């Protein structure tokens, strides 16, 4: 048996999604910009997907720009807003939280390289950004604030509405990377009060290579992917029609399943978490227990290198992750856990279990049955 | 049997994994990440660079086995790199590969392997292990290909380590290994052999050591103590070295002695390099038991040295004296002396 507990890295595409992707490849190969029948059919797929994506986040279809994924959406948001700010005036300060995904952190660094200043907001011990910290960091120079909705490693949900209000008081744009929250919790762009929001299809049973940036009407960002007049001049390049069609189907499925599925997943996650804490000594959960997405738990195992536990579990048939998939192969302690002020050993011995559609009670039972022996073997045999 | 293969990304360890998989074993490929690939200091190396990790992963994919990268940066720094720097700073000429084998592959990697439920660890070394029917002890033997034999680098292995060690290419010649690689469809079939030391480019070890240790300048003297020139640190020299001395003399001069305490480098004519005895420390006897009496053997004083007949006299504290039948040139402190009886490695130690 193999069980997949790494849904924050990616998710298996739903059967209907696969059908939609294959169907688009096979039957609707036209260029959506073409005038003829073939183009119209492809364009119809885009329109339909745009509507589905908009419905999932409480938005208007016309404000959705399709991208190649979350990273491109984050880049488009930050670089596009920065270019607009540079054209409009003298604001050159960007604020982000210290626990952002690399897509945001490294884009902030890129802005700093071209003359911007930046501030990384601290988080508290449970991984939450305090609105007061943002208020203190705002300056008249601040053009952009970017704080993720849910964190990929620990799943904590940030008080986005409060943070966005503070940014707006100071005349700054607010972006949120909602890649890890969309389809896990209700996401409504108006309730959040943000200007820009990134999402990614493959995190909710859609295909890889498709994502979107929602841009509030009136928010000024400059297109950074220059080319043809695609996506209303906001992103050049022929659209990835199969991927976007899959995104649309995944968005509809997610919206239909969200309330019931998130309750089921939360119960499963809680059982997994409680089971690990009860059966394995020297374990502790990282991050806020209440303000978090229902599918994620991040657990530290004393006296263990996370890397070894991950491999041992994989050999037992359980796919988990250390921190984020992007940091595999490095010994860098998790920047998220470090920002929470955890001691070094706990930033290097944590495992992320992230659940999703396919997970069952039986899989959680199997994991809980094998895990104690795997952990004790590692604790006995591997000297740190 | 579940077997972990240490995969460097080279042809030998890739074929080792393929051979074991073909025999029906459950093979798990592990590659060691030994230094921070993002720091850029190590861009040239010949083993375990980021490209090599990709090669290892591709080979594992072709063979159809799982592959993982384990991070041994801290252990590599602690056991291999810092020893390398310390030895050069002490005027000796280290062989880091032996530590990497003994302290990483056959120690840390074996621990991981056991934790992952594996019974053995295989590498791509050209060496062989068998059991002596009479004594029931493991024997370490040369690889079948005399050009590639790497048993010299494995003399520190214990009986317990040999019990878990597998050298699947040890019975093959290098051309046969490449032929196997082609048959398996491995992209590394034609990859060049790794050379020298993986974490330092050839000839650049003085800069590497100089960055990590304060090396005082000193004098180059003849055997009578007369100053012939100056130098910028004893780590730039090895016994027998002729080039790079910066001296203009009629006769060719060679480094015959290095004294780190005084920073003196002594040079002399070629025949001054000859010695017929040496002592070695931290001697390991493969059988696990120190012989009760002197042993006749062929002793090798560096990897590319034709071993010479000698008498090995065990001394207290895991030391030994090696008395060669005829003088040997450039016996170099820090290198390993390894004792062979025919194809069998009896043991070895570190030259004082």
The alpha-carbon gap from A246 to the nearest alpha carbon of chain B, in Å, equals 29
Confidence of residue B105 (pLDDT cuts 50, 70, 90): confident
Quickly state the pLDDT bin for B162 (edges 50, 70, 90): very high
pLDDT on residue B45:
46
DSSP H or E run through B125: none
| B33:A307 CB<8 A | no
Distance CA A319, CA A48 (A): 34
Predicted confidence band of residue A327 (pLDDT cuts 50, 70, 90): very low
Q: Which residue has the higher pLDDT, B202 or A339?
A: A339
A117 is catalytic: no
Residue A184 has pLDDT above 60, yes or no: yes
Closest by alpha carbon to A54, among A160, A212, A230, A259?
Answer: A212
Instruction: Determine the number of helices (DSSP H) and then strands (DSSP E) in chain B.
Output: 9, 17
- Within A293-356, residue ranges assigned H as helices are 306-315, 335-339, 344-347
Residue B111 resides in a domain: yes
Contacts of B114 in chain A (CB under 8 A): 381
The H or E element spanning position B51 is helix B50-63
CB proximity list for B222: less than 8 A, separation 6 or greater: B228, B253, B266, B267, B268
State how far residue B69 is from chain A, nearest Cα, in angstroms.
Answer: 6
Per-residue pLDDT band at A188 (split at 50, 70, 90): very high
Q: What's residue B48's pLDDT?
A: 57
The DSSP bridge pattern shows strands A3-4 and A318-319 to be: parallel
**What is the bridge-based pairing of β-strands A64-67 and B165-166?**
unpaired
Tokens of B2: 């579940």
- CA of B37 vs chain A CAs: smallest distance (Å): 9
Instruction: Select from A322, A315, A319, A355 the least CA-distant residue to A336.
Output: A322
Among candidates A307, A308, A315 on the partner chain, residue whose Cβ is nearest the Cβ of B28:
A315
A87 in contact with chain B, both atoms CB, cutoff 8 A: no
Region A81-104: what's the mean pLDDT?
Answer: 96
> Which one is predicted more confidently, B101 or A362?
A362
Which strands make up the sheet holding B2-6, listed edge to edge?
B67-71, B26-33, B2-6, B120-122, B165-166
Q: Which residue has the tokens 């488009």?
A: A76
Residue B207 lies in a domain: no
Domain-embedded: residue B296: yes
8 A C-beta contact, residue A323 and residue A160: no
Number of domains in chain B: 3
Report if residue B195 sits inside a domain: no
Asked, for residue B203, whether it belongs to a domain, the answer is: no
A272 burial type by CB count under 10 A (0-12 exposed, 13-18 middle, 19+ buried)? buried
The DSSP line for B175-232 is HHHHHHHHHHT-GGGGPPPP-S-TTS-TT-HHHHHHHHS----EEEE-TT--EEEEES
For residue B154, what pLDDT is reported? 95
Whether residue B185 is found in the same domain as residue B223: no
Q: Among A336, A319, A318, which Cα is nearest to A327's?
A: A336
Residues of chain B neighbouring A308 (CB-CB closer than 8 A) = 70, 112, 115-116
Q: What is the ipTM of this complex?
A: 0.85
Among the partner residues B73, B111, B116, nearest to A383 by beta-carbon distance:
B111
B337 has which bridge partners?
B349
Asked if residue B209 belongs to a domain, the reply is no
A382: nearest CB among B66, B69, B112: B112
- Per-residue pLDDT band at B202 (split at 50, 70, 90): confident
| CB-CB neighbors (< 8 A) of A307 in chain B | 70-71
pLDDT value of residue B201:
80
| Domain boundaries, position B80 | 2-190
Q: Are residues B259 and B296 in the same domain?
A: no
pLDDT one-digit tens code per residue, B19-56: 999 999 999 999 988 876 554 444 444 455 678 888 99
A384 band by pLDDT with thresholds 50, 70 and 90: low
Residues B42 and B169 in one domain: yes
Read off the pLDDT of residues A21-67 as tens digits, 9 standing for 90 and up: 999 999 999 999 999 999 999 999 999 999 999 999 999 999 999 99
Q: Are residues B264 and B288 in the same domain?
A: no
| pLDDT reported for residue A383 | 63
CATH code of the domain containing B316: 2.40.30.10
* Cβ–Cβ under 8 Å, residues A17 and A205: yes
Across B97-125, b (16+ Cβ under 10 Å) vs e yields: bbbbbbbbbbbbbbbbbbbbebebbbbbb
Residues B177 and B58 grouped into a single domain: yes
Characterize the bridge pairing of strands B227-231 and B138-142.
unpaired
**What pLDDT is attached to residue B43?**
46
Q: Which residues contact A329 (CB under 8 A, 6 or more apart)?
A: B33, B53, B69, B71
Residues of chain A in contact with residue B108, where contact means CB-CB under 8 angstroms, are 383
Does residue B73 surpass a pLDDT of 80?
Answer: yes
Question: Average pLDDT of chain B?
Answer: 91
Catalytic residues of B: 100, 198
Sign of dihedral through CA atoms B58, B60, B66, B70? negative
Domain co-membership, B34 together with B178? yes
Query: Which among B276, B4, B280, B31 is positioned nearest to B119, based on CA atoms?
Result: B4
Q: How far is B267 from chain A (nearest CA, A)?
A: 46
Query: Does residue B344 belong to any structural domain of this protein?
Result: yes
Looking at residue B118, which CATH number applies to its domain? 3.40.50.620
Tokens representing A13?
């595409």
Q: Is the dihedral of CA A77, A142, A324, A328 positive or negative?
A: positive
For the cut 60, the answer to whether the pLDDT of residue B229 exceeds it is yes
Give the SS3 label for residue A36. Answer: coil
Position A36 scores a pLDDT of 96
Q: Which residues of A touch B7 (CB under 8 A)?
A: none
A381 to B114: CB separation less than 8 angstroms, yes or no: yes
* Cβ-contact A187, A56 below 8 angstroms: yes
For domain A15-253, the CATH class is alpha beta
State the pLDDT at residue A381: 82
Shared-domain flag, residues B140 and B248:
no
Residues B12 and B94 in one domain: yes
* Mean pLDDT, rounded, of chain A: 95
| Res. A346 pLDDT band, cuts 50 70 90 | confident
Kindly report the number of other CB atoms within 10 A of residue B32's CB atom.
24
* Residue A231 pLDDT greater than 50, yes or no: yes
Query: Do B240 and B325 fall within a single domain?
Result: no
A232 at B interface, C-beta within 8 A: no
Bridge partner residues of B346 (DSSP): none
pLDDT, tens only, A258-313: 999 999 999 999 999 999 999 999 999 999 999 999 999 999 999 998 889 999 99
Which two tokens mark A133? Answer: 């910290």
Best probe of the A interface among B60, B112, B113, B121, by most A CBs < 10 A, is B112
d(CA A208, CA A13): 9
- Strand-pairing partners, residue B302, are none
* CB neighbour burial string for A196-217, b if at least 16 within 10 angstroms, e if fewer: bbbbbbbbbbbbbbbbbbbbbe
Together in a domain, B133 and B161: yes
Beta pairing, strands B165-166 & B120-122: parallel
- How far off is chain B from A48, nearest CA to CA, in Å? 39
| Closest CB to A381 among B36, B66, B111 | B111
Query: Is residue B255 packed enough to be buried (19+ CB in 10 Å), middle (13-18) or exposed (0-12)?
Result: buried
Ranges A312-316, B47-51, B196-200, most confident: A312-316
Q: Angle between the B82-89 and B205-212 helix axes, to the nearest 10 degrees?
A: 100
Nearest residue in chain B measured CA to CA from A313: B116
Question: What is the band of B245 on the pLDDT scale with cuts at 50, 70, 90?
Answer: confident
CATH class, domain A3-10+258-381, is: alpha beta
Of A311, A378, A382, the CB nearest to B68: A311
Please name the residue of chain A whose CA is at the shortest distance from the CA of residue B115: A378
- Cα(A261)–Cα(A257) distance, integer angstroms: 6
| Site from A301, A309, A312, A315 to mutate, B interface, most B CB atoms within 10 angstroms | A315
Identify any residues that bridge with B268 across adjacent strands, giving them in sequence order. Answer: B254
One domain, residues B223 and B249: yes
Most A CBs within 10 Å, among B29, B35, B39, B71, to test the A interface? B71
**Closest to B78 measured CA to CA, from A276, A341, A383:** A383
- For chain B, list residues whose CB is within 8 angstroms of any CB belonging to chain A: 28, 33, 36, 38, 53, 66, 68-71, 73-74, 108, 111-112, 114-117
The answer to whether A308 contacts B70, with C-beta atoms less than 8 Å apart, is: yes
Chosen from A321, A330, A370, A377 to mutate, greatest number of chain B CBs within 10 A: A330
pLDDT digits (tens, 9 = 90+) for B278-323: 999 999 999 999 999 999 999 999 998 999 999 999 999 999 999 9
Residue B35 is predicted with a pLDDT of 75
Write the CATH number for B230. Answer: 2.30.30.280
Is pTM beyond 0.80? Reply is yes
| Domain identity same for B228 and B291 | no
Q: Which residues of A touch B116 (CB under 8 A)?
A: 308, 311-312, 315
Average confidence (pLDDT) over A182-187: 97
- Sorted by where each begins, the domain ranges of chain A are 3-10+258-381, 15-253
Residue A330 has pLDDT above 60, yes or no: no
Q: Tell me which of B152, B174, B190 is where a domain ends.
A: B190
Token pair, residue A186, equals 């209700």
Q: What is the pLDDT of residue B278?
A: 97
Q: What residues of A are in contact with residue B68 (Cβ under 8 Å)?
A: 311, 314
Q: Is A226 exposed, middle or buried (0-12, 13-18, 19+ CB in 10 A)?
A: exposed
In this model, does residue A251 exceed pLDDT 60?
A: yes
Interface of A with B in 123-182 (CB under 8 A): none
Would you call A2 an interface residue with chain B, using a CB distance cutoff of 8 Å?
no
């Amino acid at each position: 048996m193999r069980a997949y507990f790494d849904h924050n890295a990616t998710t298996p595409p739903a059967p209907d999604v696969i059908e939609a992707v294959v169907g688009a490849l096979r039957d609707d190969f036209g260029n959506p910009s073409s005038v003829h029948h073939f183009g119209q059919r492809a364009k119809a797929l885009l329109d339909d997907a745009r509507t589905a994506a908009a419905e999932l986040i409480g938005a208007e279809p016309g404000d959705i720009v399709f991208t190649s994924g979350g990273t491109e959406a984050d880049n488009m948001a930050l670089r596009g807003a920065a270019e607009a700010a540079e054209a409009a005036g003298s604001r050159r300060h960007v604020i982000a939280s210290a626990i952002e995904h690399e897509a945001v952190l490294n884009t902030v660094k890129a802005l700093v390289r071209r003359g911007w200043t930046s501030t990384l907001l601290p988080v508290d011990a449970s991984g939450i950004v305090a609105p007061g910290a943002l208020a203190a960091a705002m300056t008249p120079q601040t053009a952009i604030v970017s704080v993720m909705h849910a964190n990929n490693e620990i799943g904590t949900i940030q008080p986005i509405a409060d943070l966005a209000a503070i940014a707006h008081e100071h005349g700054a744009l607010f972006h949120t990377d909602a890649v890890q929250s969309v389809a896990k919790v209700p996401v409504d762009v108006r309730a959040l009060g943000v200007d820009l929001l990134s999402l990614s299809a493959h995190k909710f049973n859609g295909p890889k290579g498709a994502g979107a940036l929602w841009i509030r009407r009136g928010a000024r960002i400059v297109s950074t992917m220059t080319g043809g007049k695609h996506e209303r001049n906001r992103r050049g390049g022929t659209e990835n029609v199969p991927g976007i069609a899959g995104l649309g189907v995944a968005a509809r499925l997610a919206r239909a399943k969200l309330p019931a599925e998130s309750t089921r997943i939360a119960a499963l996650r809680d059982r997994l978490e409680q089971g690990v804490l009860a059966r394995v000594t020297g374990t502790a959960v990282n991050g806020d227990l209440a303000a978090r997405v229902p599918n994620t738990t991040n657990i530290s195992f004393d006296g263990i290198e996370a890397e070894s536990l991950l491999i041992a579990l994989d050999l037992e048939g359980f796919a988990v992750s250390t921190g984020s998939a992007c940091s595999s192969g490095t010994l860098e302690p998790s920047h998220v856990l470090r920002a929470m002020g955890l001691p070094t050993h706990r930033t290097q011995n944590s495992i992320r279990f992230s659940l999703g559609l396919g997970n069952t009670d039986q899989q959680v039972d199997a994991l809980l049955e094998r895990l104690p022996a795997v952990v004790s073997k590692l604790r006995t045999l591997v000297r740190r | 049997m579940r077997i972990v293969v240490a995969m460097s990304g080279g042809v030998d360890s890739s074929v080792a994994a393929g051979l074991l998989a073909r025999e029906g074993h459950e093979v798990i490929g592990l590659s060691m990440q030994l230094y921070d690939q993002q720091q850029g200091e190590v861009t040239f190396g010949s083993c375990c660079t980021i490209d090599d990790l990709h090669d290892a992963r591709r080979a594992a994919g072709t063979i159809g086995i799982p592959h993982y990268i384990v991070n041994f940066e801290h252990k590599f720094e602690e056991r291999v790199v810092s020893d390398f720097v310390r030895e050069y700073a002490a005027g000796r000429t280290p062989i880091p590969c032996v530590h990497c084998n003994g302290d990483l592959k056959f120690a840390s990697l074996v621990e991981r392997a056991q934790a992952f439920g594996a019974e053995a660890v295989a590498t791509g070394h050209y060496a062989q292990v068998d059991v002596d029917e009479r004594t029931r002890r493991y024997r370490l033997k040369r690889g079948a290909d005399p050009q590639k034999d790497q048993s010299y680098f494995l003399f520190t292995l214990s009986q317990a380590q040999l019990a878990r060690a597998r050298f699947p290419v040890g019975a093959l010649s290098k051309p046969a290994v490449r032929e196997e690689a082609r048959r398996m469809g491995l992209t590394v079939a034609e990859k060049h052999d790794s050379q020298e030391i993986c974490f330092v480019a050839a000839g650049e070890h003085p800069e590497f050591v100089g960055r990590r240790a304060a090396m005082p300048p000193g004098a180059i003297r003849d055997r009578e103590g007369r100053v012939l020139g100056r130098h910028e640190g004893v780590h730039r020299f090895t016994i027998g070295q002729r080039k790079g001395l910066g001296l203009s003399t009629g006769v060719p001069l060679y480094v015959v002695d290095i004294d780190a305490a005084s920073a003196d480098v002594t040079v002399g004519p070629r025949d001054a390099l000859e010695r017929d005895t040496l002592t070695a420390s931290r001697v390991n006897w493969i059988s696990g038991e120190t012989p009760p009496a002197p042993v006749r053997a062929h002793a090798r004083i560096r990897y590319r040295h034709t071993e010479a007949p000698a008498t090995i006299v065990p001394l207290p504290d895991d030391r030994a004296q090696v008395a060669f039948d005829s003088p040997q040139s450039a016996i170099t402190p820090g290198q390993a002396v390894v004792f062979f009886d025919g194809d069998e490695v009896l043991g070895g130690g570190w030259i004082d």
